Structure 1
């Protein structure tokens, strides 16, 4: 999630999505909840069919707002007698009245409004022409037998959603087909989480690299800029790395309106989809800051269609492979499109941050809340690999990366060992791997010296003076 100014970065998780045009019941995997999201004449309803008696059903995706209530309580109203919607311990729950089970069939009326959540995907994106895009995960429920079970729930409910069986959601719009993963479909169904479903009018502009869906109310200067920029970024990646995870990768841009005193851009990446929500009067007029942040966001997040989705890391400790790798992909793609792009400034920032974080093990930095370490040191490691590739073949980062992606398209996992084995093969210098493993597993008191020597031995020109590593 990114905002301007004061960009804040949140770790984003990915999950698979299965969609079809209303398959037969025999083909439907078991799920504890069947949900129908329906829109007609401006009215939104959610019809839930539950498969068992339980006094509590907790939503697997919840986040309270400033008043302590979950966002659903601000937008959803239960219409079925015998059930009520509450927030308990920061989680939204359906509760049966007087301790009774929640009725097997529950209807809620929804009044969607855009809310920029801090630690979750935004539940719904609102477009200026009345269109709305729902995040599919917000309709999944987990049955519980008691309040004690609710209190004992772990922080991350994702595995419990999978264990109980994600809801099968049907998306229905009386005004016509909904847009999902680049296609317009009548009443599609989803049994897994991980995308936005767009209801209402919105033009899908197909591109060779990335397609775009742009809110018609988005200020023209940024709409035109990104409608041109996004496909060109995708073309770069496809040309250098082959096909990505999705056959129709898409960037979806919404406009919340010219809120006085505000300039913001929230966004996230999901399988085959990058979403961006702009808001504030600061977006009305051309702004280099807004443009550059939006360009970078598209460059980094769409890189994950290849490095992160076509192949993913094996464990969270290895996310430096995808995050730092995506940063260098974005830098090289942006250089190719715009020769005026200042790559050195971005790379120097990565070097500086890596030195700051690498006095402790980089692989476990997320446990310490140091999320940027994987981005920064991952980018430094990618720069080392690129320099080794250049020495060996005259190639670049994409030439180093493509064989790794191609070799793992089937199992879809790029391991740390595979990445480092390729570095050994390209560089012929096992000391590069040794230094990276030191930074990953133990950290180094002399982090600046280790980073400087690592870069220098691979062929990156650096100056190292007074514990400062400067790209020459």
Structure 2
């Protein structure tokens, strides 16, 4: 999901995609016995996915039914084709579904042919394609759940957190006729995945082990990017470790998988997401061919944001998709503070000014509903603004910063792995002693603000965030 534009004369647009994929679903009740068995096979240029269902259902819906960010259309119909006669794939409500044309149950065996492409998705893990022909697919891209009718599919909410489902994680076997597949940094001739959230790479790829960081990098990636990742990412991770303690389980050692989509004219694009122990990144455009100071800073900020999700996203996750401001805005402020600590010349004020400006532009409507509008940037910008207020309250209380606010909040919620909106706001009230702060944030989340600048100025004034107001504009000082 786009974060912000990079003002470079040779660049038309920059998509900086944070670890914006949906958090793992805390299910209501999943009847995993309904989950199918799937075989994914790559045979040269031909890809197939064979589903074997163990029960009859009128409709099977795909959990990963994200929209492409640029056109807000579903990605699967552009990459998957149903080969089984009498079965159709279509969009119903928020989900891609399959059903039988004759109105009966879906056949127990359904085959799809696949043409994997790398596209930017809204709040979901996307396919990675490499310039040497290798492809990395998300392991949970094949999960489905059963429904009694297309009407039931149309009635399903976009956020499945807490919803009872007849289905769950598919059991997927992976096979590449050219050789072993790559999973968790290791080649495996026979691989089956079920509940793991990661990527499987089919095709050749160079795996480079390192101290605390293993890299899988596209051979045509501009060399400076790989060098920057190998040198800078460990420093950011060490800083977070010192300030916040251990990352999420499975993230103690990291693998970075980086693809290159080519030197597209007038474009500078950085995208990515985080899974346990894995950061995936994709770069594209002439704007990132050479390390100008501006592009170098953006790449470091990008690495800082992605790495932050090993704590905000893996150690704890949000409860509902509408609460993504907790992890995305929090990761933004983590990245800004880490970069300033590691590079005193970094202009943190300019970065945070952009967050404030963007939140003002996007908070006239309810921030919690931004995802439904395709305005995911609101989660980042307004989440960062709320985090700045929490940091200000912490500084007033004991001279601390954002990490000092965050560390006890993480510690209190590591056991269940969920940091809810209520828990975050309660922490703010405890630190500040001012319940009106939480009330203002809740109003912006649920109702939006007729004058967002006035609401943000009130938050900053009450928490001591240095700023001034000129002609209705908030200027950080």
Pairwise same-fold verdict (TM > 0.5): yes
Q: In structure 2, how many angstroms separate the alpha carbons of the residues matched to 1:296 and 1:387?
A: 22
Q: In structure 2, how many angstroms separate the alpha carbons of the residues matched to 1:327 and 1:202?
A: 31
Q: 1:135 aligns with which of 132, 138, 143?
A: 138
Q: In structure 2, how many angstroms separate the alpha carbons of the residues matched to 1:294 and 1:300?
A: 10
Alignment of 1:243 onto 2:252: no
Aligned equivalent of 1:405: 410
Q: In structure 1, how many angstroms separate the alpha carbons of the residues matched to 2:149 and 2:246?
A: 48
Closer, same or farther: CA 154–396 of 1 in aligned 2, 3 Å: same
Moved more, 62-71 or 8-17: 62-71
Q: Superposed, which structure 2 residues align to 1:59-70 within 5 Å? A: 59-62=62-65
Q: In structure 2, how many angstroms separate the alpha carbons of the residues matched to 1:45 and 1:142?
A: 20
Alignment of 1:154 onto 2:156: yes
Q: In structure 2, how many angstroms separate the alpha carbons of the residues matched to 1:442 and 1:78?
A: 42
Matched residue count: 459
Q: In structure 2, how many angstroms separate the alpha carbons of the residues matched to 1:70 and 1:126?
A: 19
Closer, same or farther: CA 351–262 of 1 in aligned 2, 3 Å: closer
Q: In structure 2, how many angstroms separate the alpha carbons of the residues matched to 1:72 and 1:362?
A: 28
TM-superposed deviation, 1:402? 0.7
Alpha-carbon contact 2:2-2:377 (below 8 Å) kept = no
Q: 2:310 aligns with which of 288, 293, 305?
A: 305
Aligned equivalent of 1:7: 15
Closer, same or farther: CA 153–453 of 1 in aligned 2, 3 Å: closer
Q: In structure 1, how many angstroms separate the alpha carbons of the residues matched to 2:373 and 2:113?
A: 41
Aligned equivalent of 1:332: 337
Alpha-carbon contact 1:39-1:173 (below 8 Å) kept = yes
Alpha-carbon displacement from aligned partner over 1:243-287 (angstroms, at most 9, x marks no partner): 212233433211133345554334334444332222344443444
TM-superposed deviation, 1:397? 1.3
Aligned equivalent of 1:234: 237
Q: In structure 1, how many angstroms separate the alpha carbons of the residues matched to 2:72 and 2:359?
A: 37
Aligned equivalent of 2:9: none
| Unaligned runs of at least 5 residues, structure 1 | 18-27
Pairwise CA RMSD = 4.0
Aligned equivalent of 1:24: none
Task: Select the structure with the greater relative contact order (CA < 8 A; seq sep ≥ 6).
Answer: 2
Closer, same or farther: CA 248–458 of 1 in aligned 2, 3 Å: same
TM-score (norm 2): 0.79
Alpha-carbon displacement from aligned partner over 1:133-157 (angstroms, at most 9, x marks no partner): 012233234455666666x453638
Aligned equivalent of 2:467: 462
Q: In structure 2, how many angstroms separate the alpha carbons of the residues matched to 1:459 and 1:157?
A: 36
Q: 2:109 aligns with which of 91, 105, 108?
A: 105
| Unaligned runs of at least 5 residues, structure 2 | 6-12
